[in-house]
Structure 1
Amino acid sequence: MTAGTAGPAEQLVPTDQGPGRVRVFPAPSPVGTLLLGHGAGGRRDTPDVLALTSLADHGWTVVLVDQPWRVAGRRVATAPPRLDAAWLQILGALSEDRGPGLDPLPRPWVLGGRSAGARVACRTAALDDGTPRPGVAAVICVAFPLHPPGRPDRTRAPELAGPVRAGLPTLVVQGSADPFGRPEEVVAAVTDPRLTVVPVPGTHSATRDLPALTGAVRRLLATLPPDPEDAPR
């Protein structure tokens, strides 16, 4: 099945913090998988994240990951270390046998997310020794929160620099008036040719230019080599 037809396949994934949920939008002829985490707000999905499920029509299976706190119906996100731990447990489960009727997720894997989900992807894309997590080929950030509004001194640039320094191509699609960090701030914070910053209209809310978002992500995905030998762990 494809996005927009029979709908995504849903699966609960156990973690130490309770079950997370994945919704899989399979590509008919997959060349890889894009795994996306959500933000810390109350909405389950935002239009920009949902727009990226259309990439299933372009060869990329898309997986939307719901953190355990959201599955449990809580309104406040858990602390970053717990977000990372749950995310990694979900990735680990998805790299194994997914059960009857569920095909293995195609490789390579690209980690991504919106806002807080982008931070999680950046923090977990590389191992502790600074090398890429096996099987992960790139990172995609939608509305990366570089700093709290009005507090550029509290920068999260080291998080964004993590996958870049590990050699992973990293894309940031950022609202031109985002109070959490405008595109030019992101460019100045991490100066590396492996980081691509694409400005789009808007603030930290979902961009009004969804074709620009999906186009930027498609361009990055098109540069990635096929199927590395190791699966994410």
Structure 2
Amino acid sequence: MEIETQHGLARAEVLPGDGDGVLVLGHGAGGGTHAPDLRAAGAVARGLGWSVVFVDQPYRVAGRRAPAPAAQLDVAWLAVLAALREKGVIGSGPLVVGGRSSGARVACRTADDGAATGVVCLAFPLHPPGRANDPTKSRLPELDAVRVPVLIVQGESDPFGMPPEDDNRRIVRLRGNHSLRSDMPGLRSAVEAWLPTL
């Protein structure tokens, strides 16, 4: 379905489940919703009876690869969640938002306003590569601001860093890098174990 936002048309691919939980996933900065890790997480959720929605941000729908500013991404994401509620895709059951890399950041920043039950972060970019020692470049405040349970699936050699453990965060470390392609079974197991806890 196409959804009008303040920053152009977004697209939502809705895969209905037979339960009341909904997992909404967004893509990385330069990629799309067919990234292997996103599809693997979605397949696990559907196997558990959840509905899954893959969201393409307006800049991607318009054919651009360079991402829009964070504020625009967040506004468009919240517009998509509102439309999904209006159309009955999101109901009274648990709503988990998430995505890979940039999409995970969007999900964290909007979790409160979007009334999420939990957040799934695939390859959360804690800092730009090579900038681990520059606190002004850290994205940890975006994670710290999330008040609901968070699952982070991270490659041990990810150049974007490894987020620290916290009370509401489950960190699953997999072999491999930012793509998470080296351990798809580990990714699927992490999502399969965590989703039913919500």
Residues of 2 paired with 1:124 and 1:111: CA distance? 9
One-letter code aligned to 2:197: T
Q: Are residues 1:18 and 2:8 paired?
A: yes
Structure 2 counterparts to residues 189-200 of structure 1, below 5 A:
191-200=165-174
Report the counterpart of residue 71 of structure 1 in structure 2.
61
Query: Which residue of structure 1 aligns with residue 26 of structure 2?
Result: 37
The one-character-per-residue Cα deviations of 1:49-84 (angstroms, maximum 9, x if unpaired) are 111221212111110000000000011110100000
Please report the TM-score for the alignment, with normalisation by the length of structure 2: 0.92
- The code of the aligned residue for 1:175 comes to G
Which moves more between the two structures, 75-84 or 201-210? 201-210
Q: How many residues align?
A: 193
Q: How does 1:44-193 map to 2 (within 5 A)?
A: 44-54=33-43, 55-96=45-86, 98=87, 104-106=89-91, 107-127=93-113, 133-134=114-115, 136-152=116-132, 153=134, 154-163=137-146, 166=147, 168-182=148-162, 186-187=163-164, 191-193=165-167
Deviations 1:15-48 (A, max 9, x none): 1111100001111x21300000000114452111
Structure with greater proportional helix content: 2
1:206 offset after TM fit, Å? 3.2
CA, structure 1 residues 42+137, in 2 after alignment: closer, same or farther (shift >3 Å)? Answer: closer
Structure index of larger Rg:
1
Q: TM-score, with normalisation over the residues of structure 1? A: 0.79
Aligned-pair Cα RMSD in Å? 1.4
Identity among equivalent positions (%) equals: 48
1:212 is the counterpart of 2:182: no
